[in-house]
């Protein structure tokens, strides 16, 4: 059995303290911008998109990352603006076509640099446009807050349970620190928080049960996004995507679960018609 040294334990406590301090600053800012709606919500997403574009380019471009970062950021910001003015469906279609075209070009020519650029655009712009579209719905504030709480709850509970319980590794080749116990704990935590939000809104036991199930599904999607980010960093030999957020690394590190969950939730809401005003 390997015993952690005192120095290692102190480093972990310091990192945990930084994570908590950063969250105490960032969470209220995110909630305030979400509550404020247009233009504050879009402005927050624009700043985050620019930071994520730079981190993506720095990891994948190798040469002249600033140029690629500027291109991805500009496309992401344009997507946010279009989505804010009711053109979210067009944004999704253009991003999807660009991504498929880049994949086809890479397969034909063997040069995958364009595919990575398009992949960065899809990875960053699609979730941002999804968040804008969700926020603009009649029940948009409730939906976005529910999404945030669900993803945050997944991260917090999965981290706590994984550290406390341990057990078999979830994906040791991709992210050695993640465990099956953490995933299950994150699912249960997200489902419980989701159900409690439904109860708090007075939606009834049946809706709370549906909320519990939806929370668990979003937890799995968020954990999938976390694993994708870990695989990306492992591919490029990076521990963190950046150093912008103390204790968390980069913006991509902090938002990996949200980047996966937001488009999935937007798709589910779109499938049921998009008008959830009766939920309010």
pLDDT in tens, 146-195: 999 999 999 889 988 988 888 899 888 888 888 999 999 999 999 999 99
What is the CB-side half-sphere exposure of residue 180 using CA atoms within 13 A? Answer: 3
Task: Summarize pLDDT for 90-130 with one digit per residue, the tens.
Answer: 788 778 777 787 778 777 877 776 677 777 888 888 898 89
Does position 2 have pLDDT exceeding 50, yes or no?
A: no
Query: What pTM was estimated for this model as a whole?
Result: 0.84
| Domain extents in the chain | 15-37+140-280, 39-135
Which of 63-72, 104-113, 124-133, 244-253 comes out lowest in average pLDDT? 63-72
Q: Which H, E and C letters describe the chain, residue by residue?
A: CCCCCHHHHHHHHHHHHHHHHHHHHHHHHHHHHHHHCCCHHHHHHHHHHHHHHHHHHHHHCCCCHHHHHHHHHHHHHHHHHHHHCCCHHHHHHHHHHHHHHHHHHHHHHCCCHHHHHHHHHHHHHHHHHHHHHHHCCCCHHHHHHHHHHHHHHHHHHHHHHHHHHCCCEEECCCEEEEEHHHHHHHHHHHHHHHHHHHHHCCCCHHHHHHHHHHHHHHHHHHHHHHHHHHHHHHHCCCCCCCCCECCCECHHHHHHHHHHHHHHHHHHHHHCCCCCHHHC
Residue of higher predicted confidence among 202 and 46: 46
pLDDT at 1 over 90: no
pLDDT band at 3 (very low <50, low <70, confident <90, very high): very low
Tell me the pLDDT of the chain averaged across its residues: 81
Tell me the Ramachandran region of residue 245: left when phi exceeds 0, alpha when psi lies from -120 to 50, beta otherwise: beta
């Amino acid at each position: 059995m390997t015993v952690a040294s005192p120095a290692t334990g102190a480093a972990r406590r310091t990192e945990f303290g930084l994570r908590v301090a950063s969250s105490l600053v960032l969470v209220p800012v995110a909630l305030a911008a979400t509550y404020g709606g247009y233009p504050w919500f879009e402005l927050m997403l624009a700043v985050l998109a620019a930071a994520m574009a730079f981190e993506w380019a720095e990891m994948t471009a190798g040469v002249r990352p600033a140029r690629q970062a500027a291109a991805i950021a500009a496309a992401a910001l344009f997507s946010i603006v279009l989505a804010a003015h009711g053109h979210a469906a067009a944004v999704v279609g253009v991003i999807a076509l660009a991504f498929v075209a880049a994949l086809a070009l890479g397969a034909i020519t063997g040069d995958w640099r364009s595919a990575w650029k398009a992949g960065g655009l899809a990875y960053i712009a699609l979730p941002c446009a999804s968040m804008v579209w969700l926020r603009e719905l009649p029940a948009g504030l409730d939906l976005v807050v529910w999404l945030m709480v669900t993803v945050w709850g997944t991260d917090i509970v999965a981290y706590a349970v994984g550290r406390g319980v341990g057990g078999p590794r979830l994906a040791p080749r991709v992210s050695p620190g993640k465990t099956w116990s953490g995933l299950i704990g994150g699912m249960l935590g997200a489902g419980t928080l989701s159900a409690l939000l439904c109860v708090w809104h007075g939606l009834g036991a049946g809706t709370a049960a549906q909320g519990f199930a939806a929370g668990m599904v979003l937890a799995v999607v968020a954990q999938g996004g976390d694993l994708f980010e870990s695989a990306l960093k492992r591919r490029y030999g990076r521990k963190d995507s950046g150093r912008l957020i103390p204790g968390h690394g980069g913006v991509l590190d902090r938002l990996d679960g949200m980047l996966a969950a937001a488009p999935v939730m937007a798709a589910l809401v779109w499938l049921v018609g998009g008008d959830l005003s009766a939920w309010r």
